[in-house]
Amino acid sequence: MISEKLAKAINDQINKEIYSSYLYYAMAAQAEAQGFKGCANWFHIQALEELTHADKFFKYLCSQGALPVMEAVDKPELKGTEIKALFEQTLEHERFVTSRINSLMKLTREEGDYASEIFLQWYVTEQIEEEENATGILDQIRLTGDSKQGMFMLDRELAARVFTPPPAPAAD
């Protein structure tokens, strides 16, 4: 049985995951408006991933007999509109999410909630990937410098990203 304290923290994380989706939708819109359809695709898929993260937390709370509580979601604020600025904010945001997941993991250990700790391990691994992806794209942007051809090629590469939902938990 999950504690009220942990359930509240996971409810808060659901809100943050939905906010993350809003943020990436805003970034997708900005990239699309600038003609970077590949970058827009990357951000759109990122938005869908964040919704699946929220859903995974939602379903976990339900499975533990806790009530998911939907709170208001803040309006996303972009720190810049250029593609490089959007990916810099992406990395900053993913580092923030990583810190939140780490806090949840710490709480599960303090409470001795091994089931929740195992559940959260997926998110720990996911955040490693999220930060690596954002860092890699930023590295590529920096390598292109002011090259429009380089950004064109990167945009084409990001257009190839497809949404792959996380695997469903194994049936009993």
3-state SS, residue 75: coil
pTM: 0.93
The position carrying tokens 């809100």 is 15
pLDDT tier for residue 165 given thresholds of 50, 70 and 90: confident
User: What would the pLDDT profile of 114-130 be if each residue is shown by its tens digit?
Assistant: 999 999 999 999 999 99
pLDDT tens digits, 12-63: 999 999 999 999 999 999 999 999 999 999 999 999 999 999 999 999 999 9
d(CA 163, CA 172): 27
Report the alpha-carbon distance of residue 8 to residue 66 in Å, rounded.
9
Q: Quick one: average pLDDT of 109-113?
A: 97
pLDDT band at 169 (very low <50, low <70, confident <90, very high): low
Q: In the chain, what are the domains?
A: 4-159 (1.20.1260.10)
Residue 77 CA to residue 94 CA, distance in Å, equals 15
Q: Which run of H or of E encompasses 63?
A: helix 37-63
Contact at 8 Å (CB) between 50 and 20?
yes
